[in-house]
Structure 1
Amino acid sequence: MPALAGSSAIGGKPPTTSAPDGVCPLRQKASLMATLLLTALGTAVGGPIGGAVGAFIGQQADALVFGGGSRQGPRLRELSVSTSSYGQPIGRHFGRMRVPGTIIWSTELIESKNKQKGRKGQPSTVVYSYSASFAVALSSTPIARLGRIWADGNLLRGTLDDLKVAGKLRLYQGHGDDPVDPLIAADKGINAPAFRDCAYVVFESLDLGDFGNRIPALSFEIFADGGDSAVSLSRLIPGAETGSADVVPGARGFADEGGSLAATLAAIDEVIPLVCTSGRDRLRVAPRSIAQNTVQTLPEALAAGGGSAEERRRKQRAGVPGRAPAALRYYDEERDYLPGVQRASGSRRYGRELMVDLPVTLNASGARQLANERANRARWQSETVVWRIGEMDPRLQPGAIVRLPESAGLWFTRSWEWYDEGIELVLDRLTPHQMGPQTSDAGQANRPADQIIPSTSLYALEVPADGSIGAATPALYAAVSAENSAWRGAALYSVQGNGLVALGSSGSQRAVFGSLIERLEPSHAMLFEPEACLIVELVGDDLGFEDADMAGLAEGANRVMVGSEVVQFAQSIPLGNRRWKLQGLLRGRGGTEHDAALGHDVQTSVVLLDDSLVSLDPAEVPPLGTSRIAAIGIRDEEPVIATLANAGLSRRPLTPVHPSVEVAPDSTSVWCWTRRARGQWRWDDPVDVPLIEETEAYLVGYGAVAAPFAAWSVSESRFRLSQQERLSLVTAFGPAPLWVWQIGTFGNSHPLLLDEIN
């Protein structure tokens, strides 16, 4: 007999976006007709949303009849990045998600010319850098807040909302009353759009130096609807009755990249079967619920045409079972929202694998649970029962969960039809409940470092000449560093009164320096001291030292400036917590043995003398003890200022060495010494080192260095004193030391003790 009336709720396989391989044109045409017919029926019942759901149901029917391909659901984006294509849809996003965005406004690149200070022994260079201002649309629905930002795979903005490069960021959440951005207004004038009802960000003067002087490929972590709870169906399908159901249990985010609502519902239905029914006033869309208090037991079935009891129910197979989906692709929250794959337990690993794409944010365990449930449903979904009853129960609407008399298991009410011999229900077998939660591993993620850009550490010093620059040029350097490698460098300035004069950029290479945490005892600075050591605390955890052998030390390796003394070390031992032990010392290097004899207190600065130091021009920074420089980095709220240490050290003559005395036959005493030259540390042959100073001159004094009783100027490295002159000095002033210093072009050396006269 023909059916008089009926209703249905379909919750099976998703629609296919194209005809599968081997499907004939006739089947494709039949599929199109079914979809169009159900779309028209849905529109007549429920309006535009009803039409979308009708198309969804029709496409499900197509899938049940003709089958699907090896990949189902909307394709997940593989590391998608920001673009700027006309006509590109801006997706709707719910919960937390990583999105590429679309560039909707931009200025031209702005060129800047900066002088970058040369490293130790290298000239300064002129560096051209570029910045740009642009806006990126993120979502066509409002968002609550913005999280991390990736640029070319690295973090541009971290979890503490800090930009890793210079520039400013403004967020517009996508509400209808968002103001016009002032930067866009300045560029476009009265025609400036506000981009209302669209969430977007504006970058102002973003430094592009780290990205090849171009706008980088961007992706954004966004949080909508709070971002920490599951995504509700009511937000996804406005106007439909959904209750408080979640889109996908455990999902932290959902991406609707455009297209028909039917396709979106079909993607969800692949993993969480949906029940779509039409009521008197609105559509009802909800996941299948198996709450025990709503399960009804059907009455005994009516006999069909007076048949036997066995003929009261007709149990049939709905065609040949299709392949069970073996895997689920999703956005893995534990791997920075990159696509992940979880396979159902016990799924086959050979042949073409059926995979379902679901654009939701999940963790690995939740995705594994869904994959197992989907595969389990596929094993049971082909069993159908047609059950005829005499009276229609109002509670037996399509989508209801029922039991059959004297039969185990639960059944889903797919549809009912009213015949003259009763009401016929079409029931689908429900999957038995799986025991226990599923656990899985998302795999390792190669996450970029999220380090807070630290403030700048600065130290300015003059070091002994090493022969790499002219003898008349002071060796002035800045040690510029920070706690970690996120530091992007700093602009350097010379402090002149209350003003700052630009010196250029330091670059991003960090100097290795810190301070003593234990006193360094005095030393005669004559021999290698294998057991001697110094303990230093550096400004950063990832800074450190390297070892050197004796040949390396002879070539000048591993030199550190401890206060005003140059020390070489053989071994470097990390102690943890930024602390290092430098052992096996050569003290008083570079003519600083006078300072080695004094020792150094706690908190004395320690600077590694390598090419990480920034050279300072003495024309801009005078070699005076009152000279100051300043550094300003991205995270420096105030200029960091340092006063020049060891002023005059590089141009001070070295203390003479090797004193000796001889007594001539006439009782005249002759004192001799050996001079040294600034920057000339190697004596490769018996030839004397260059003079370096304009003239060879010395001052010999008797008595205290600060106020000698007598002094003599000599022009050679020897001094004579007759016996009578010696006795006169002792008689007049008493016993006192005899010393000599070298008079240089720019200053005098420390004194060398020649003898004690008594």
Structure 2
Amino acid sequence: MATIVFNAVGTYLGGPIGGAIGSLFGRQFDTALFGTSSRRGPRLTELAVSTSSYGQLLPRHFGRMRVAGAIIWAADLVEHSETRGGGKGAPSMTAYSYTASFAVALASRPISGLGRIWADGKLLRGEAGDLKVGGTLRIHTGEGDQAADPLMLSAEGEASCPACRDLAYVVFEDLDLADYFNRIPALTFEVIADEGFGLEDVIGDLLEDVDAGVALQGIAGWTCDGPLFESLQALGQVVPLQADAGAETLVIARERLQGDTIALPEPAVATGDDAFGTVSGFTRHRAPPPERPPSTLRYYDTGRDYQPSLQHASGRSAPGGADTIELPAALDSATARALIEKTARRIDWARERMSWRSCELDPAVAPGTIVTLPAVAGHWRVLDWEWCESGVELSLERMLPTGADTTPDLAADPGRANPPADDPTGTSALVAFELPLDAAGTPADAPRPFAAVASTSAHWSGAALYADRGDGALLPLGPSGRTRSVIGTAASVLSPASPLLFDRSSQLLVSLVDPAMQLVPADTRQLAFGANLALVGEEILQFAQATSLGSGNWRLEGLLRGRGGTEPAIATHGTGEAFVLLDARPVALNPAILGREPARQVVAIGRGDSDPVAAPVLLDGVTLRPLAPVHPRCATLADGTWRLSWTRRARGGWQWQDGVDMPLVEQAETYLVTLGPIDAPVAMWSTAGPLLEIPAQVISDLSATAPGTALRVRQQGTHSLSAPLLLCTLP
């Protein structure tokens, strides 16, 4: 190809003599550049990583290519700290994270946009343009009127920050480095330079007065990272190009642009003893096959995320091995197989050569001209010519017959690839709640608020949590973390049952937010140690059996109801209630920030959320609320006095032991006994122990005033009253 190009340029600048000199120089250039190597073209490398070297050349890209780029600006890493937990004696933990801001130059000509971005082999930006980690991406396409990046401008100042016009680059602002070991990862970019391009775009304004309207069918992308002649030489190996320098404009095309083929005159007879074809005036021969014929094409495969790939031409291998054509182009496997197959066939046909002598010097017959010969079939291309004493001697090459360059219908396999998943950024799902007091070292006077945060997609990087105390102001509660809680909704109404017995008859249908989430069964021993604890609405229960119904739907059976003092909620269930598996995955919230306002709620904001996700706090106040007394007893003494008694329970004391009194968690043991409605009692008594005696006369008077009215008792805790326990009813 270099021979043809230099020949055409030499003829364009210096006429036939210049063409001969250019042809000679082109052949010398080919030999010096390629020698006897087994490859042809610039060597393809595995996908490189972004570098930052002064003087590094930035390539020009066409179509779609995957490139590394060069880091041209960077700021220092920024450290961020988040303190979680704490307050009222609870331990706190400070987590540190780092972000980076930097700019990466991609191309020395304008581009139209960016596709995917890979970081350490994982997708940093998906096909839909979504960043998989926190941060901001700004794309500067390299137009001639683009403005300086605002971040770089603020950091460097107007006098030191160029607009980098005619340079395509991107700026990452506060890119989260948590997934990349707190360092800037190895980045590669899918550059979208053009939706379609041809040879004329590749040449661009590098050469003047050139007509190169050649469509590059099937080539999805091309990279020029060196002189133009290297790109033309590499492309010419698989797309045969002809140069026509016979007019004022240099024309490069697939075929020489001439109206009709030129018919050569009859060959001239030579008189010299050492001349070829002395009697006939021509010789015809078939050149031997190349020692290393090109039969392998190495390229960037679009079906394998632009990884280098190979395609081989059909046929037997040559004894001396085969050359590999290195093509810096993005192709699919079918196009690559067709290109190397046609290249191998074209080289085989071009082995048929002819030397022709003419007595006429026709200026229109130049290298690349297509000619016909008297009494010889086919079309021939002029390779070169020499002006000798016996005439003008032409070297001709047989052109492919019609149909010989038809794309072969051959199977092509790009090979197996394992591209990183481009999962959409999932939306956040949130359930906020308090949990009952845990006796294992938890302060008795501190609420235990939690947030169970999850997403419909496994590719979810968490959400930022905020507290809204009812005034609309968002107070930061810290990040949720990447671990998804197992949450969903109740698809059936849970029927009432006794909290004192193992519920074998009730069933609960649950639909989880992600079908990939799992629930597991547990035996009675595991249940005794707290396994499979779940929140359904405002009731905490445990389940023994979990049966998958498909598509994220589960059937739960074998229930222990009203756990943790939530038995009042047993009869309040409805459809669509929140379901949360109470394991180690829910995030503890700072109660001081969350506050205790009745209208408070927790807000989650993730990258995939178009709007903030808010949730009220379920089981509000359950941590500090005393448990309702149990085992009511009513006895009538000999004088008609009613003796009412009950058994106390304590917050956090879930393991009842025979003969051992539950420890008191409240500051004092006080009970409130009321007659009639809780909010408007007919009578009220306060007692310091689990016992109350009402004289017979008082019972008689109350029975006359409010017959059939219920007597209830509540424990008076340090912070609130417990749920009521029915003691008895007046006659």
Displacement after TM superposition at 1:514 (Å):
3.5
- Aligned counterpart in structure 2 of residue 286 of structure 1, from 250, 253, 272: 253
Deviates more, 1:141-150 or 1:270-279: 270-279
Unaligned runs of 5+ in 1: 1-7, 13-34
- Aligned counterpart in structure 2 of residue 655 of structure 1, from 628, 635, 639: 628
Q: Sort the Cα spacing of 1:51 and 1:609 in 2 relative to 1 into closer, same or farther, 3 A.
A: farther
> C-alpha deviations, 1:261-309, integer Å up to 9, x for none?
3322221222223334533534333335799x96677666555559999
Map of 2:533 onto structure 1: 559
Contact between 2:2 and 2:27, CA under 8 Å: does it hold in 1? no
Q: Sort the Cα spacing of 1:433 and 1:297 in 2 relative to 1 into closer, same or farther, 3 A.
A: farther
Q: Sort the Cα spacing of 1:39 and 1:415 in 2 relative to 1 into closer, same or farther, 3 A.
A: closer
Map of 2:432 onto structure 1: 460
> Is 1:109 matched up with 2:77?
yes
- Aligned counterpart in structure 1 of residue 142 of structure 2, from 174, 178, 184: 174
Identity percentage over the alignment?
42
Displacement after TM superposition at 1:606 (Å):
2.3
Paired residue total: 718
Map of 1:372 onto structure 2: 341
Q: Sort the Cα spacing of 1:231 and 1:473 in 2 relative to 1 into closer, same or farther, 3 A.
A: farther
- What does 1:327-406 correspond to in 2, within 5 Å? 327-346=296-315, 348=317, 354-389=323-358, 391=360, 396-401=365-370
Map of 2:502 onto structure 1: 528
Q: Sort the Cα spacing of 1:435 and 1:408 in 2 relative to 1 into closer, same or farther, 3 A.
A: farther
Displacement after TM superposition at 1:531 (Å):
5.4
Contact between 1:101 and 1:219, CA under 8 Å: does it hold in 2? yes
Partner SS for 1:612: coil
Displacement after TM superposition at 1:372 (Å):
1.5
Contact between 2:427 and 2:608, CA under 8 Å: does it hold in 1? yes
- Aligned counterpart in structure 2 of residue 197 of structure 1, from 158, 166, 180: 166
Deviates more, 1:365-374 or 1:462-471: 462-471
Q: Sort the Cα spacing of 1:618 and 1:600 in 2 relative to 1 into closer, same or farther, 3 A.
A: same
Contact between 1:624 and 1:648, CA under 8 Å: does it hold in 2? no
- What does 1:37-48 correspond to in 2, within 5 Å? 45=14
- Aligned counterpart in structure 1 of residue 225 of structure 2, from 242, 257, 260: 257
Partner SS for 1:414: strand
1:327 is matched by which residue type in structure 2?
T
Map of 1:548 onto structure 2: 522
> Is 1:428 matched up with 2:397?
yes
Contact between 1:11 and 1:269, CA under 8 Å: does it hold in 2? no
Map of 2:189 onto structure 1: 220
Query: Structure 1: how far apart are the matches of 2:657 and 2:523?
Result: 20
Query: Structure 1: how far apart are the matches of 2:585 and 2:318?
Result: 55
> Is 1:73 matched up with 2:41?
yes
Q: Sort the Cα spacing of 1:350 and 1:167 in 2 relative to 1 into closer, same or farther, 3 A.
A: farther
Partner SS for 2:592: coil
Q: TM-score by structure 2 length?
A: 0.86
- What does 1:717-732 correspond to in 2, within 5 Å? 717-718=690-691, 729-732=702-705
Partner SS for 1:734: coil
Q: Sort the Cα spacing of 1:108 and 1:42 in 2 relative to 1 into closer, same or farther, 3 A.
A: farther
- What does 1:230-629 correspond to in 2, within 5 Å? 232=200, 235=203, 238-239=207-208, 241-246=210-215, 248-258=216-226, 260-288=227-255, 301-303=267-269, 311-319=280-288, 321-346=290-315, 348=317, 354-389=323-358, 391=360, 396-401=365-370, 411-419=380-388, 421-430=390-399, 432-434=404-406, 436-468=408-440, 469-495=442-468, 497=471, 499-530=473-504, 532-540=506-514, 542-573=516-547, 579-596=553-570, 598-629=571-602
Query: Structure 1: how far apart are the matches of 2:260 and 2:647?
Result: 106
Contact between 1:301 and 1:312, CA under 8 Å: does it hold in 2? yes
Displacement after TM superposition at 1:329 (Å):
1.3
2:323 is matched by which residue type in structure 1?
L
Unaligned runs of 5+ in 2: none
> Is 1:676 matched up with 2:646?
no
Map of 1:19 onto structure 2: none
Deviates more, 1:179-188 or 1:70-79: 179-188
Map of 2:109 onto structure 1: 141
Query: Structure 1: how far apart are the matches of 2:729 and 2:443?
Result: 38
Query: Structure 1: how far apart are the matches of 2:2 and 2:451?
Result: 76
Partner SS for 1:611: coil
Q: Sort the Cα spacing of 1:349 and 1:382 in 2 relative to 1 into closer, same or farther, 3 A.
A: closer
- Aligned counterpart in structure 2 of residue 162 of structure 1, from 121, 127, 130: 130
Query: Structure 2: how far apart are the matches of 1:153 and 1:340?
Result: 17
Contact between 1:56 and 1:266, CA under 8 Å: does it hold in 2? no
Contact between 1:133 and 1:206, CA under 8 Å: does it hold in 2? yes
Displacement after TM superposition at 1:473 (Å):
1.6
Partner SS for 2:594: coil
- Aligned counterpart in structure 2 of residue 87 of structure 1, from 55, 64, 81: 55
Q: Sort the Cα spacing of 1:353 and 1:616 in 2 relative to 1 into closer, same or farther, 3 A.
A: same
Contact between 2:565 and 2:627, CA under 8 Å: does it hold in 1? yes
1:650 is matched by which residue type in structure 2?
T
Query: Structure 1: how far apart are the matches of 2:638 and 2:322?
Result: 109
1:735 is matched by which residue type in structure 2?
G
Contact between 1:511 and 1:608, CA under 8 Å: does it hold in 2? yes
RMSD over aligned Cα, in angstroms? 4.0
Query: Structure 1: how far apart are the matches of 2:169 and 2:238?
Result: 31
Q: Sort the Cα spacing of 1:40 and 1:754 in 2 relative to 1 into closer, same or farther, 3 A.
A: closer
2:239 is matched by which residue type in structure 1?
I
Q: Sort the Cα spacing of 1:303 and 1:538 in 2 relative to 1 into closer, same or farther, 3 A.
A: same
Displacement after TM superposition at 1:441 (Å):
2.5
Query: Structure 2: how far apart are the matches of 1:297 and 1:714?
Result: 125
Contact between 1:491 and 1:506, CA under 8 Å: does it hold in 2? yes
Displacement after TM superposition at 1:251 (Å):
0.3
Query: Structure 1: how far apart are the matches of 2:561 and 2:545?
Result: 14
Q: Sort the Cα spacing of 1:725 and 1:45 in 2 relative to 1 into closer, same or farther, 3 A.
A: same
Query: Structure 2: how far apart are the matches of 1:578 and 1:392?
Result: 85
Deviates more, 1:601-610 or 1:91-100: 601-610
> C-alpha deviations, 1:576-614, integer Å up to 9, x for none?
665544444332222212211x13122322222222222
Query: Structure 1: how far apart are the matches of 2:493 and 2:657?
Result: 36
Q: Sort the Cα spacing of 1:573 and 1:418 in 2 relative to 1 into closer, same or farther, 3 A.
A: farther
